[in-house]
């Protein structure tokens, strides 16, 4: 247990006389007497609240609950705000700024008198960004999410965030939904604060934070408006002070075994494919390499157990009442390392020892999985030498083995211009290919991979066809969509060489994605290929293009991943005059 003089913040408040004078005076100016903070752990509250992020709208009041808990446990809470990554407003993608948010929080922790931190998250990229920062800073840390939003209803039918947007959007494009009906759904869709109420990326990532041991057990799925969420905020505030006193840091929690547990949980959840990229990035911050193939290996032995949209029927309120993440992990306990440490100070096995499913239609049994064969697959072949991902849990079984002629869109704008054209030469057997939509190509790796089903096919009753890109898709999306093709087109991957009419073979059972063009022709095309020219010649987007890693390496910046044991050490600032 650190003594008061051993606290990191003591360098600021009890160090060299003139510096301590200045720093204590700064707190006095905010109405704090030395007796209010002398010798107490300073707890940073990293709040990703913003009026530009509807998913995180309740984090301001949760911060007050955290502060209450910190004070009750004898700490000093100091709240700070970071960049906030909201999926609705940020264009081209919040993913472009995930690494920036991680840097923002890491450097705030480095530069200030903070002994431990509470990370307030909710929307998709805020959760992994904060955990990446915590992994690098390695100060005692705990995460708290804002919870999923309430469920709206349209004409008696529940509305699932994202998933039903894509469904009703297709109905509207096909001419089967009037403008009045569309606006009625819009009113039902915006049903309150909180993250998506499906098992999209937001709920997937907060579930995985709990699975990793960085969030209090049983808390990830509590609805945003449930009074238990404020109770958990206070408990989280109390626990972070205890974590500082116990000197329990992320490096003891974010271990290779913990990441394997998280992958197993992702697969049992049938969660978002975006989690693959985020888990690889988070592990990389601790010097842990997770090859893409490991996700596929674990998928083949992990049952898919959660009947939730977009891959199933239920929404987050049902998942929470059925037992949440702890119940899912208890169902696959024999596949997990139960000895991993968590922020409770107890092992994962201890945390889930009494957990079980309370609704077998939501969290099903091992004997009757939602679907056989795993929730996702990693594909390789000449079209994806470093790998591509397909969410088998949300794909059409009949298309899992398919060969078809390519219709190629060179970029997102061209796709939008052509996709609903009556002249598009598309059939249900076509393979839609989107190029230059990856990490470097946009830049930012947006969720453009779920290419809309062309209007002419929708009108004929076709609801799915094979789609391939170097992009991502929303965790709330569904369909036979091959994503994260690596290397991406803008980096010179084979995807850049695909032309209209080329035959493409998808064979999920054999994990194969093959462009059926002979090597000599591909060599000719490669010799003639020119990389796209970016409009971004300065600023953060230029930094991103120059330093982002590919999808199979987590899309972190190359300079943020430690290359040695020494690089894992968090460099402390020199506490001198500013």
Instruction: Give the closest residue to 305 by CA, choosing from 360, 239, 387.
Output: 360
Beta bridge partners of 515: 504
The pLDDT assigned to 576 comes to 77
Across 368-397, b (16+ Cβ under 10 Å) vs e yields ebbbebbbbbbbbbebbebbbbbbbbbbee
Which sign does the torsion angle of CA 96, 496, 473, 389 carry? Answer: negative
| CA distance between the termini of the chain | 30
Burial of 509 per CB tally in 10 Å (0-12, 13-18, 19+): exposed
Secondary structure of 441-473 in the HEC alphabet?
CCCCCCCCCCCCCCHHHHCCCCCCCEEEECCCC
Instruction: Report which DSSP code applies to 488.
Output: -
The pLDDT assigned to 166 comes to 87
Domain 377-528 listed as CATH 3.50.30.80: yes
- Cα–Cα distances (Å) from 301 to 205, 373, 377, 378, 455, in that order, read 21, 8, 12, 14, 38
**Residue 434 C-alpha from the chain's centroid:** 22
Instruction: Give the closest residue to 120 by CA, choosing from 136, 144, 102, 137.
Output: 144
Beta bridge partners of 408: 433
Determine contact, residues 253/345, Cβ cutoff 8 Å.
Answer: no
The pLDDT assigned to 2 comes to 60
Do 40-150+192-351 and 377-528 come out as alike in CATH topology? no
Determine contact, residues 336/261, Cβ cutoff 8 Å.
Answer: yes
Quote the CA–CA distance of 408 and 414 in Å, as a whole number: 9
The pLDDT assigned to 36 comes to 82
Side-by-side strand order, sheet with 116-121 = 76-81, 42-47, 116-121, 141-145
In the predicted model, residues of the chain with pLDDT beneath 70 are 1-5, 578
- The residues near 140 (Cβ < 8 Å, ≥ 6 apart) are 115, 116, 117, 240, 243, 244, 246, 247, 248, 249, 250
Which H or E run contains 504? Answer: strand 503-507
The 10s digit of each residue's pLDDT in 55-69 is 999 999 999 999 999
The pLDDT assigned to 5 comes to 61
Quote the CA–CA distance of 67 and 78 in Å, as a whole number: 8
- Give me the residue spans of the domains in the chain: 1-38, 40-150+192-351, 153-189, 377-528
- Cα–Cα distances (Å) from 100 to 45, 84, 85, 145, in that order, read 18, 10, 10, 20
R_g (Cα) of the chain, nearest Å: 24
Domain 40-150+192-351 listed as CATH 3.40.50.2300: yes
Quote the CA–CA distance of 180 and 146 in Å, as a whole number: 32
Which H or E run contains 77? Answer: strand 76-81
The pLDDT assigned to 4 comes to 61
The pLDDT assigned to 437 comes to 97
Instruction: Give the closest residue to 233 by CA, choosing from 39, 85, 77, 81.
Output: 77
């Amino acid at each position: 247990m650190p003594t008061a003089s051993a606290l990191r913040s003591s360098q600021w408040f009890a160090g060299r006389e003139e510096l301590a004078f200045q720093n204590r005076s700064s707190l006095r100016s905010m109405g704090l007497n030395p007796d209010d903070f002398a010798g107490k752990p300073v707890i940073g509250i990293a709040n990703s609240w913003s009026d530009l992020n509807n998913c995180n709208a309740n984090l301001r009041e949760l911060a007050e609950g955290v502060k209450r808990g910190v004070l009750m446990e004898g700490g000093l809470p100091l709240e700070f705000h970071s960049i906030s990554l909201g999926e609705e407003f940020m264009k081209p993608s919040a993913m472009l700024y995930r690494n920036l948010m991680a840097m923002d929080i890491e450097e705030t922790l480095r530069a200030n008198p903070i002994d431990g931190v509470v990370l307030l998250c909710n929307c998709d990229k805020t959760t992994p960004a904060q955990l990446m920062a915590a992994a690098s800073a390695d100060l005692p840390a705990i995460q708290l999410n804002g919870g999923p939003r309430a469920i709206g209803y349209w004409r008696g039918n529940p509305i699932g965030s994202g998933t039903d947007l894509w469904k009703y959007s297709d109905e509207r494009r096909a001419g089967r939904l009037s403008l009045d009906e569309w606006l009625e759904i819009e009113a039902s869709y915006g049903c309150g604060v909180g993250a998506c109420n499906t098992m999209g990326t937001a709920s997937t990532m907060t579930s995985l934070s709990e699975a990793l041991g960085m969030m209090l057990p049983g808390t990830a799925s509590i609805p945003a408006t449930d009074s238990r969420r404020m109770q958990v905020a206070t408990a989280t505030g109390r626990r972070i002070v205890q974590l500082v006193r116990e000197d329990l840091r992320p490096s003891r929690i974010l271990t290779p075994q913990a990441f394997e547990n998280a992958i197993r949980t992702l697969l049992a959840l049938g969660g978002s494919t975006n989690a693959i990229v985020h888990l690889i990035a988070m592990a990389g911050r601790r010097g842990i390499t997770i090859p893409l193939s490991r996700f596929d290996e674990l998928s083949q032995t992990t049952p898919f157990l959660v009947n939730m949209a977009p891959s199933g029927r239920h929404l987050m309120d049902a998942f929470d009442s059925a037992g949440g993440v702890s119940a899912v992990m208890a169902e696959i306990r024999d596949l997990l390392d139960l000895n991993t440490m968590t922020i409770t100070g107890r092992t994962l096995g201890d945390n889930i020892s009494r957990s079980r499913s309370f609704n077998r239609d939501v969290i099903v049994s091992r004997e009757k999985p939602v679907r056989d064969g795993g929730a996702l697959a990693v594909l390789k072949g000449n079209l994806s030498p470093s790998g591509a991902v397909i969410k088998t849990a949300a794909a059409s079984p009949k298309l899992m083995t398919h060969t078809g002629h390519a219709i190629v869109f060179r970029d997102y704008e061209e796709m939008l211009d052509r996709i609903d054209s009556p002249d598009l030469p598309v059939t249900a057997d076509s393979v839609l290919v989107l190029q230059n939509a990856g990490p470097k190509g946009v830049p930012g790796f947006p969720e453009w991979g779920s290419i809309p089903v062309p209007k002419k096919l929708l009108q004929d009753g076709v609801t799915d066809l094979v789609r391939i890109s170097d992009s991502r898709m929303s965790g709330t999306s569904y369909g036979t969509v091959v994503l994260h093709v690596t290397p991406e087109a803008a980096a010179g991957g084979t995807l850049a060489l695909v032309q209209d009419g080329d035959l493409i073979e998808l064979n999920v059972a054999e994990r194969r994605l093959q462009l059926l063009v002979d090597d000599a022709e591909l060599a000719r095309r490669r010799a003639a290929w020119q990389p796209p020219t970016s409009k971004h010649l300065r600023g953060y987007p230029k930094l991103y293009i120059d330093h982002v890693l590919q999808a199979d390496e987590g899309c972190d910046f190359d300079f943020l991943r430690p290359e040695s044991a020494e690089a894992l050490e968090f460099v402390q600032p020199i506490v001198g005059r500013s």
